[in-house]
Structure 1
Amino acid sequence: MSPGSPRSPWWRTTGHTGTYKASFLFLFELGYERVLMHIGNVLEFTRRIYSELYCRVEKYRPQTLNDLISHRDILSTIQKFISEDRLPHLLLYGPPGTGKTSTILACAKQLYKDKEFGSMVLELNASDDRGIDIVRGPILSFASTRTIFKKGFKLVILDEADAMTQDAQNALRRVIEKFTENTRFCLICNYLSKIIPALQSRCTRFRFGPLTPELMVPRLEHVVEEEKVYVSEDGMKALITLSSGDMRRALNILQSTNMAFGKVTEETVYTCTGHPLKSDIANILDWMLNQDFTTAYRNIMELKTVKGLALHDILTEIHLFVHRVDFPSSVRIHLLTKMADIEYRLAVGTNEKIQLSSLIAAFQVTRDLIVADA
């Protein structure tokens, strides 16, 4: 094709091929830089939010045993151990956010002065390095060295110990046996069943249960007052409900909601966490029990898409409804069995759309059973 012919590309007739190529590359690079800048801004915003959340949790962490708001029986027992200088190896277990780490850190601050803390206390998170090397390395090195300028024992705090491999736990058992004279160990975990029996038998065990609303509300009100955050009455109830006795989670939800919306109400809390509102659950139940299958499926899928709801959260809320409604025993048993199967299948990673279909089908069969019994 010759230059200037009707089929010739338009830029060849102008003689500015290099100019247009350069312009295109310039625009591409400009767009690329803007994308990178946008990504950088998003990452910086995310880092700032995480930093804010972390600072709030640490800012209001109890500093002494008297500051802790729950588990007074456990605290009094540990306090007696400390006062009599007979602190054993400890195994603190229970759900997250219930005061396990705060308790042992408060004990450490009572046992050691600030200038001694760094040399007498070793705090590790076992989930960072789960293998045997963490036992053979920093733990063995710390436990095997004696202190010259201070009498008494050292303290090793091993958080998330249930993440350690079995080989690492067996190696830790030998270290505990060998250096009991000058080192005490405190293991912290969520799941006691993941700690080998040999370690359990060498420690005094304390279970930290979820915090009650009566204990959480005053502490949250203190934080709200200090941070000057607007929290409505239904917003406080939503914080308590969604945190499920986890104070750390309650503080994180409080801070996230305040940063996102400027106020903490029931609606903003549920929206921020992506949890279905009570009105959403009422609509879903109405569709499943009163609409045909196709209409119910379409409406629920649209609601899930618009609000970003997870089927697992919907299932949890519906489970509470099933227990509150006066279903016939046979119908309730059938429905709960089906819901348990759906929850299990969701946990192993099956398709949410298929499981939603199964949930709708279970409720429509339930509706037919109720009509038949009537």
Structure 2
Amino acid sequence: MAPLVQSSQPWVEKYRPKQVKDVAQQDEVVRVLTNTLETSNCPHMLFYGPPGTGKTTTALAIAHQLFGPELYKSRVLELNASDDRGINVVRTKIKDFAAVAVGSGQRQGGYPCPPFKIIILDEADSMTEDAQNALRRTMETYSKVTRFFFICNYISRIIEPLASRCAKFRFKPLSEDIMITRVLHICQEEGLDLEPEVLSTLSSISQGDLRRAITYLQSAARLFGSSITSKDLISVSGVIPQEVVDSFFAACRSGNFDLANKEVNNVIAEGYPVSQMFSQVPCLLFYFCCSEFIMLVIEIWILIECCFQLFEIVVGADDISDEQKARICKKLGEADKRLVDGSDEYLQLLDVASSAMRAICNMQEEFS
């Protein structure tokens, strides 16, 4: 097929799956939602998980498969809560759409066309708490004629009264094999030729985010043509070169403040994003001081629930002293509060893991 590198259409949209069954690697979610499509019995839904794993794609696919192209515009309201996040939007736009009844469900053109509408709230974790509280009454009042699909990265930022009204679906990070398969398909369609090393690099820098991987690939194709190297991908991704991260971490381990200060100045002078450094340095830390505890905690995405479960484990442990339990529980309480306030889940989880390691290893810790 002729290369379409210069096409203006984003590849993320061009290659977005059109049906629920085509969503990659979310087998449990696809199985449940396929049954939902067959019965047309659709509850309020909450899709949560890392970015680029298929949450928005799944919500849009459900809506299209239920109503088809003719009724989609009149039956589905798409809102991005990052923009429409205030209470006024709930009181006007959402309430007005939800209140309008629709005709009885009759199949049209092969589509089920159930007797309700759908409101898709993307980035719902960006909504203010007042707006989320206002939604509770709207959901209850118009539940017979309107279903809500909430999409978020951090379920801890969705208030419990909303979350409890929804069927929850967790989207897992995509494996490297799945991502490479999808990327190879796009490369074939777009006439790109990538070496295996480039595919591995793309998978690494995208961190399970397929949308990010496709965006990097298209950006590199626009800048460098059909022949793309690992260096090209790193340059368009904004990822800090590994040698810079290694030097920074080595300076930290050396105990030499002047050397560490020099590396910090180098990072700032080169314009590397500090938040990106925060995400890359912990990978080195895990390499040097990995434990079963850390690996167990990393697999859990609902961090507020994780705090409760860890609390029960810590309190019930017989091989941990009361002083150690007190230190760990104090840190769990702090992390829980920060999560409610909207702190980054990854950094809070890392803080809990490192604090628990220090406590269990009888290392002294100063509390401010």
Q: Report the TM-score range of the alignment, normalised by the length of the smaller protein.
A: 0.5 to 0.7
The structure with more radius of gyration: 1
Q: 1:323, CA displacement in angstroms?
A: 3.3
Q: Pick from 19, 27, 33: which aligns with 1:78?
A: 33
- Alignment pair present for 1:138 and 2:93: yes
Aligned to 1:30: none
Indicate the percent of aligned positions where both proteins have the same amino acid: 37
CA contact (8 A) 2:67 2:75 kept: yes
CA RMSD for the aligned pairs?
A: 2.9
CA contact (8 A) 1:157 1:187 kept: yes
Q: CA deviation at 1:225?
A: 1.2
Displacement of 1:264 in angstroms is 2.5
Instruction: Determine if contact 1:267/1:277 at 8 Å carries over to the other structure.
Output: no
Call closer, same or farther: CA 1:317–1:119 in 2, change over 3 Å. Answer: closer
Give the structure 1 partner of residue 49 of structure 2. 94
Equivalent AA in structure 2 for residue 270 of structure 1: I
Q: Quick one: structure 1 residues 311 and 178, their matched pair in 2 at CA, closer, same or farther if it must change by over 3 Å?
A: closer
How do 1:1-374 residues align onto structure 2 when only pairs under 5 Å count?
Answer: 52=8, 55-148=10-103, 151=106, 152-262=115-225, 263-284=227-248, 294=258, 297-298=261-262, 301-302=265-266, 305-306=269-270, 308-325=271-288
SS at match of 1:107: helix
1:277 Cα deviation from its structure 2 partner: 2.6
2: CA distance, partners of 1:269 / 1:101: 25
- Structure 1 position 273, deviation (Å): 2.3
> Deviation at 1:304?
5.7
The verdict on how the C-alpha distance between 1:166 and 1:293 changes in structure 2, with shifts beyond 3 A counting, is closer
* Amino acid across the alignment from 1:204: A
Q: What is the deviation of 1:94? A: 1.1
TM-score, length-scaled by structure 2: 0.68
Structure whose residues are more often helix by fraction:
1
- Relative to the length of structure 1, the TM-score reads 0.67
Instruction: Name the residue aligned to 2:354.
Output: none
Say if 2:21 and 2:34, in contact at 8 Å, map to a contact too: no
Query: Aligned equivalents of 1:88 and 1:286: distance in 2?
Result: 52
Which is worse superposed, 296-305 or 159-168? Answer: 296-305
Assess, with a 3 A threshold, how the Cα gap between structure 1 residues 116 and 317 changes in structure 2: closer, same or farther: closer
SS at match of 1:113: helix
Instruction: Give the AA of the match of 2:170.
Output: R
**Aligned length, in residue pairs:** 279
| Structure ranking higher on relative contact order (CA contacts 8 Å, 6+ apart) | 2
Distance 1:179 1:279, change over 3 A: same
Change in CA separation of 1:299 and 1:178 when aligned onto 2, cut-off 3 Å: closer
SS of the residue aligned with 2:10? Answer: helix
Gap change, CA 1:199 and 1:296, over 3 Å in 2: closer
For the residue of structure 2 that corresponds to 1:276, the secondary structure is coil
Q: C-alpha displacement at 1:66, in angstroms?
A: 2.0
User: 1:320 deviation in Å?
Assistant: 2.8
Give the whole-Å Cα distance in 1 for the aligned partners of 2:126 and 2:252. 41
Q: Please, which runs of 5 or more residues in structure 2 have no aligned partner?
A: 107-114, 291-337, 344-368
Give the Cα–Cα distance (whole angstroms) in 1 for the partners of residues 289 and 134 of structure 2.
54
Q: Is the 8 A contact 1:284 1:300 kept in 2?
A: yes
Give 1:72 deviation, angstroms. Answer: 1.1
Q: Distance in 1 between matches of 2:219 and 2:160?
A: 40
Whole-Å separation in 2 of the counterparts to 1:326 and 1:132: 46
Sort the Cα spacing of 1:79 and 1:313 in 2 relative to 1 into closer, same or farther, 3 A.
same
1:269–1:155 distance in 2 versus 1, CA, 3 Å: same
Provide closer, same or farther for how the CA distance between residues 294 and 208 of structure 1 changes in structure 2, counting only shifts above 3 A: same
Distance 1:124 1:286, change over 3 A: closer
CA contact (8 A) 1:236 1:265 kept: no
**Displaced runs of 4 or more, over 4 A:** 282-300
Q: Secondary structure at the match of 1:98?
A: coil
Query: Structure 1 residues 183 and 300 mapped into 2: Cα distance closer, same or farther (>3 Å)?
Result: closer
Q: CA deviation at 1:171?
A: 1.6
1:15 aligned residue: none
SS at match of 2:148: strand
Q: Which amino acid aligns with 2:180?
A: V
Structure 1 portions without partners, runs of 5+: 1-48, 328-343, 349-374
Q: CA 1:292/1:162 → structure 2, altered by over 3 Å: closer, same or farther?
A: closer
CA separation of 1:228/1:148 partners in 2, compared to 1, >3 Å: closer, same or farther?
Answer: same
CA distance in 1, matches of 2:157, 2:286: 32
Deviations 1:36-77 (A, max 9, x none): xxxxxxxxxxxxx9x94x621110111011221121111111
Map of 1:21 onto structure 2: none
Structure 1 distance, partners of 2:260, 2:266, is 10
For 2:81, the aligned partner's letter is: A
Query: Separation in 2 of the partners of 1:55 and 1:87?
Result: 31
How far apart, in 1, do the equivalents of 2:157 and 2:128 lie?
9
Over 3 Å counting, the alpha-carbon distance change for 1:197 and 1:298 in structure 2 is closer
